[in-house]
Amino acid sequence: MTSPTYTPPAARQTFAGTGSAPKLSFGGVLKSERIKLSSLRSIRTTLLITLLASAGLSLLSAWAMKSSFSYDGLDVATLPDEGLQSYLLTVSTFASPFLALIFGVLGVFVISSEYSSGMILSSLAAVPRRTPMYYGKALVLVAIAAATALVLVAVGLAIGVAFLPAAAAQIFSGPVLTGALGAVVYLACVALLGFGFAAVLRSTAGGISLVAGLIFVLPIGFQFLSMTGWDWVPTVSQYLPMSLGSTLSMGDVATGSDPTYWVAMLAIALWAAVPTALGLVVLKSRDAK
């Protein structure tokens, strides 16, 4: 009698719980964070409010500026290039200082929602190394914020051209392009600023309070301090986030005052980087509960 031929079992892939875990890549972390953020209702609602508010403010500013041209008896066809560029930048970036708070709240929600719901424990169970998880959230947030800000600026430019077709020739001019870039960078950095604050405080209310205080309340305080005549007050106030956002939205033009466009770009990046770095230190040094 012929003995049966032995056939070795096919090699099988092992997964978590069977002896070894699949390799966790940073790309996978980014994908999971993107899915997680896009599924949050608060994130979708915030982005929708941002789009509607920005379009409304751009419409109002375009209508007001065109009306002022007509009231002053200006011939749009004779406006200099600088005037058309200023018109486009005003219409497309007018909403940026007001929408900065919404972007800051978006950054707060990205991480504070996990602490309030307890999902942070599940996130750390899936990605035990805290640094990749944290940077994954930050990068996805920056991508979403930058994409949203880019859409807002593009819609603003389209509205500006619709009200004043003669300005279409200036859309790709240096000041307009750098001003649009500055507005996008500013809003993305404010979102990252809120993310860092929330990571440090682990509180939605605390993160929003800090963002609102830094963007809106602190400049008012410096306006009162300017009455003291101290020389350092105007200098410091120019480097507050709201002032930096105004400088960036003007584009890379010679203003004759400090900070310049690229210095303002570096300063707003530092405003975003410092709280984000502190948030990582807190995440790695404290228990997640």
- The secondary structure of 76-136 as a DSSP string is GGG--HHHHHHHHHHHHHTTHHHHHHHHHHHHHHHHHHHHHHTHHHHHHHHS-SHHHHHHH
Tell me how far the alpha carbon of residue 208 is from its chain's centroid: 14
* pLDDT number for residue 273: 95
More confident residue, 287 or 15: 287
Q: What pLDDT, in 10s, does the model give residues 250-262?
A: 888 866 677 899 9
Separation of alpha carbons 73 and 53, rounded Å: 30
Helix (H, G, I), strand (E, B) or coil at 63: helix
Extended beta strands in 162-287, E state: none
pLDDT at position 229 over 60: yes
Global confidence as pTM:
0.85
Instruction: Enter the DSSP assignment of 5.
Output: P
